[in-house]
Amino acid sequence: MYKYSEFDEFFVRRRVEEFRDQVRRRLDGSLTEDEFKPLRLKNGLYLQLHAYMLRVAIPYGTFDSRQMRQLADIADKWDKGYGHFTTRQNIQFNWPKLADVPAILDALADVDMHAIQTSGNCIRNVTADHFAGAAADEIADPRPTAELLRQWSTDHPEFQYLPRKFKIAVSGSSRDRAVTKAHDIGLRSIRDAGGSPGYEVLIGGGLGRTPMIGAVVREFLPESELLAYVESILRVYNLHGRRDNKYKARLKILVHETGIEKLSREIEAEFAERKKWFAGVDPELIEALKSAFKPPEFNLSRTGAFERRLEKDSGFRAWADTNLFEHRCSAYSIATVSLKPIGGTPGDASANQMRALADIAERLGHDEIRASHEQNIILPHIRKDDLPEAYDVLAASGLQTANFGLVSDIIACPGMDYCALATARSIPIAQEISRRFAALGIEREIGSMKIKISGCINACGHHHVGHIGILGLERAGVENYQITLGGDATETAALGDRAGRGFSADELIPALERLVEAYLRLRDSCRETFLEAYRRLGPEPFRAALYPETGKLAA
Amino acid sequence: MVKKFTAKVITTNRLLEGDAVYLTRDGIWSPEFGDAELFTDPAGASLALETANRQTLLHVGAYFADAETDPSGRPSPTHYRERLRSMGPSNYCHGKQAERANV
Amino acid sequence: MAVIVRDQGFSKDDLDGRSFIGMEDAEISEDLSLAIELPNHADLPALKTLLPKIGAIRINFPNFGDGRGFSIATKLRHMGYAGRLRASGHVIADQYALARRSGFDEIEIDDELAARQPENQWISGKDWKSGSYQDRLLKTELAPTR
């Protein structure tokens, strides 16, 4: 894992002092609220409905036991004993006080962490495949690239006041687990015909009010030219992105309004100019970043403990069945720890749960932890024969939910229970769906199912790319939920189709039940997933299930 | 047609604490919606909002929230957003609902 | 009266009395040390032939959240412009380091802002030369002189 350099340490401490001073200057009137707001946002601090909210960066989702324990201590000391893992591979604290925030930032700096650029109209925390460095299907570890981009984008003087936020995701596998096609820039590690490393570059993806799938702007970008090229994209965006309407200010709108060919020419022209002044990043620095993410030394021995436990414990078997993923090393597994207990708040972990996860990672997991954009925690390197022991620790902390990828493994933004932008609640909907399908006992029969819920059009809950997406809106003074169908967040990314009129909170769960029943009835075998069935059959039979009254009217 | 003025209270979040507060008849900020002064005429409401927004070091900027009188005669929010804001989240007993329970 | 902020602190405008002219006027002027005013959406390639006879450029920030001026400054420096570069309008003390690092030499602010954010807020702790990620990563860059 990457360890802070002296400069990182110096920079982060200086930034904490700068923010402490900014808080002081807000309190003495030197800064107006309008001026202070973007400054606090660039340090991760929002003001929500009930309190401030601090969004802490977990760059590319990678952290360790020491950092996790510090997050737990922060939750206990300055918050209400828990944290919320988000779809941006960050963690949020919902209850800090403004005056405490500089001290919290200092506590983060103590363990090489920060909250810089987790919000605001700047380049946000760079995200990456949460199975990076562990997945059997990986071509290149995306984290050296993500770390390079983190450093380059941090406090970049040109790009702190962009038209709107700017998100970059990196994937190093043919399987896209980083939703790269829904980011302003999506990077995919590839090699050219001669075997040189580089990237396929996509731009203009994004969800929100006008969802768009990213388009390829460069089929192959040599690795050494990454920063000059990304800088060119950002410069074109900073100068030409719309600033007259915040809903039209993302790069995707510039791509849409200019056209990808024309914009691509503008970027290439800027790139040609940029390269005159750019001698490339020091290759030694690139190598140092790569070696920082070298895989740990794996213990290849087997004792058979894994198989013995599988045989005698159905609970463990169920967990192993859903929550494990193939590791590059056959003696190991990637374990997903579900933060979606039945009826719980998606993504929340108590301080004690964080400590349990830290203990497992330290003792059994080469001290590596990942936060996934699906709001779960990943233990990327657990030896198969240590899984029974890890599972027992998880179970003792209520973290053994065996539902990864199932209907109750729901992504949900905080919604109007916390968020000042929300138009409806998300969490109670997620809780109810999870309880209802657990009570029906058909989760495993349904199989792979991604339900994603957003409490407003900004789509933090990624509803457009859920197999079933749910968008909470206000209609005539009450909460109303629109359903989209057939979305996909992977390498076969697709935006869901809106099914029809929205549902009230009371109508929603029965409607989803009808939808799932229809799928179970219509699928051609128990191996055909909901998404596959939807792609084969089209929306009509599913719409008919959602809106039985229209079927009757037509008949 | 003159649109009927909906009764309002003035609310904001405190700068230091971040919690939601409501302007009372005495001109102080209370954490309870029910303590707020209910404005029923537009001119009085606008004037009070203007005055409140001069206190730039106390809060982050005040705004109107629609309200009605509850059976006990105290103002209560008409919109679910302000209702949630005046209580706390629905997934945990945190925020104002917890503070009330602790009194 | 405008206040000029430089690394040394606040000062009076030594270009006061000189008028900053627009690009169209600059094209026909025979002055060999022009002071020109650029909007933050200026077409820079059109400026290229004029650069040798420009001594000062002022770029307006309509509000501090509009960061186009930072890219304009960077591009001007990349085009080889080595004269004075001034940001004016709504730029706050917290942006001083960004402005200097993007290629500006100085910032012109009004009296109200100068009173609200006095000199020490602009210079204290704003050691913009003390190092940045960009300097470290792009240190092989052929930085234009100024």
Contact B17 A416 (CB under 8 A): no
| Domain A411-550 -> CATH class | alpha beta
Q: What angle do CA A497, A498, A501 make, to 5 degrees?
A: 160
CA-to-CA dists, residue A32 to B52, B57, B63, angstroms: 15, 9, 17
Q: What is the pLDDT of residue C144?
A: 43
Chain A / chain B CB contacts < 8 angstroms: 70
Chains with ≥3 Cβ pairs under 8 A against C?
A
State which residue of chain A sits closest to C101, comparing Cα positions.
A157
Q: What is the mean pLDDT of chain A?
A: 96
Across the interface, do A477 and B18 touch by the CB < 8 Å criterion? no
**Confidence (pLDDT) at C125:** 53
| Nearest residue, CB atoms, C78 vs list A148, A239, A277 | A277
Q: How far apart are CA A185 and CA A37, in angstroms?
A: 26
Contact of A286 with C146, CB cutoff 8 Å = no
- Asked if B89 is an interface residue toward chain A (Cβ–Cβ < 8 A), one would say yes
The answer to whether C51 and C81 have CB atoms below 8 angstroms apart is yes
Are the Cβ atoms of A235 and C74 closer than 8 angstroms?
Answer: yes
Predicted confidence at residue B24, as pLDDT, reads 98
CATH number of A305-396: 3.90.480.20
What are the residue boundaries of the structural domains of chain C, listed by start?
A: 3-137
Distance of residue C105 Cα from the nearest chain A Cα, in angstroms: 14
Displacement of CA A176 from its chain's centroid (Å): 12
pLDDT value of residue B103: 65
Across the interface, whether the CB atoms of A50 and B19 are under 8 A apart is answered yes
- In CATH, the number for domain A142-290 is 3.30.413.10
Per-state percent for chain C, helix, strand, coil, to nearest 5 = 35, 20, 45
Instruction: Please give the full DSSP string across A88-126, using - where no structure is assigned.
Output: TSEEEES---GGGHHHHHHHHHHTT---TTSSSSSBPPP
Contacts 24+ apart (CB under 8 A), A307-314: A309/A387, A309/A388, A309/A391, A313/A388
Cα separation of A479 and A502, whole Å?
A: 10
Burial classification of residue B43, based on how many CB atoms lie within 10 Å of its CB (0-12 exposed, 13-18 middle, 19 or more buried): exposed
Touch of B by C (3+ CB pairs closer than 8 Å): no
A/B touch flag: 3 or more CB pairs below 8 Å: yes
Whether chain A has a CB inside 8 Å of the CB on C75: the answer is: yes
Q: Which chains are adjacent to chain A, needing at least 3 Cβ pairs under 8 Å?
A: B, C
- List of chain C residues with pLDDT < 50: 140-146
Contacts of A51 in chain B (CB under 8 A): 17-19, 95
Supply the pLDDT for residue C9.
94
What's the pLDDT score for residue C17?
64
* B28 half-sphere exposure, CB direction, 13 A CA radius: 5
Task: Give the residue ranges of DSSP H helices in A376-504.
Answer: 387-396, 427-440, 443-446
User: Which residue out of A159, A230, A235, A239 would a mutagenesis test of the C interface target, given it has the greatest number of C Cβ atoms within 10 Å?
Assistant: A239
Read off the pLDDT of residues A278-330 as tens digits, 9 standing for 90 and up: 878 888 888 999 999 999 999 999 999 999 999 999 999 999 999 999 999 99
Chain A residue numbers with beta carbons less than 8 Å from the beta carbon of C145 are: none
Neighbours of chain B (3+ CB pairs under 8 A): A
Residues of chain A short of pLDDT 70, as ranges, are 551-555
Task: Compute CA distances A51 → A185, A345, A419, C4, C26, whole Å.
Answer: 32, 18, 10, 39, 53
Q: How far apart are CA A455 and CA A474, in angstroms?
A: 10
User: Rounded to the nearest 10 degrees, what angle do helices A33-41 and A6-27 cross at?
Assistant: 160
What residue segments make up the domains of chain A, in order of their start?
6-110, 142-290, 305-396, 411-550
Cα angle, residue A114 at apex, residues A112 and A116 outer, rounded to 5°: 145
Do A and C make contact via 3 or more CB pairs under 8 A? The reply is: yes
Output the tens digit of pLDDT for each of chain B's 103 residues: 567 889 999 999 999 999 999 999 999 999 999 999 999 999 999 999 999 999 999 999 999 999 999 999 999 999 999 999 999 999 999 999 998 887 6
* Residues A140/A188, Cβ–Cβ less than 8 Å: no
Topology annotation, domain C3-137? TIM Barrel (3.20.20)
pLDDT for res A281: 85
Contact A99 B84 (CB under 8 A): no
Q: Do A416 and B95 touch (CB under 8 A)?
A: no
Angle at which helix A305-312 crosses helix A314-323, to 10 degrees, equals 120
ipTM, two decimals: 0.96
Indicate the residue of C41, C70, C130 with minimum beta-carbon distance to A158.
C70
Angstrom distance (rounded) from CA A496 to CA A455? 16
The H or E element that residue A482 is part of is: strand A478-485
pLDDT value at residue C140: 45
Q: Which of A30, A34, A50, A78 to mutate to test the interface with B (most CBs of B within 10 A)?
A: A50
Search chain A and give the residue with CA nearest B81. Answer: A416
**Cα nearest neighbour of A431 on chain B:** B91
CB of A400 closer than 8 Å to CB of A392: no
Contacts of A67 (CB under 8 A, 6+ apart): A58, A111, A112, A113, A369
Task: Tell whether B18 is within 8 A of chain A (Cβ).
Answer: yes
Which numeric CATH code is attached to A6-110?
Answer: 3.30.70
C-alpha distance from A412 to closest chain B C-alpha (Å): 13
Torsion sign, CA atoms A215, A217, A218, A223 = negative
Query: CA torsion A445→A446→A448→A454, rounded to 10°?
Result: -150
Closest-CA distance of chain C to residue A132, Å: 24
Residue of A2, A11, A158 to mutate for C, most C C-beta atoms under 10 A: A158
What gap in Å lies between CA A91 and CA A59, rounded to an integer?
Answer: 11
A476 vs B: CB within 8 A: no
Q: Which two tokens stand for residue C55?
A: 């001594």
Q: Tokens 């050494």 belong to which residue?
A: A224
Structure tokens at A322: 């859903």
Q: Which residues contact A237 (CB under 8 A, 6 or more apart)?
A: A162, A163, A166, A184, A251, A254
From the list A33, A99, A477, the residue facing B60 with the nearest CB is A33
Question: Backbone phi, then psi, for C19, in 5-degree steps?
Answer: -95, 135
Show residues of chain A in contact with B18, CB under 8 Å: 47-48, 50-52, 96-98
* H helix or E strand, kind and range, residue A543: helix A540-546
pTM (2 decimals)?
0.96
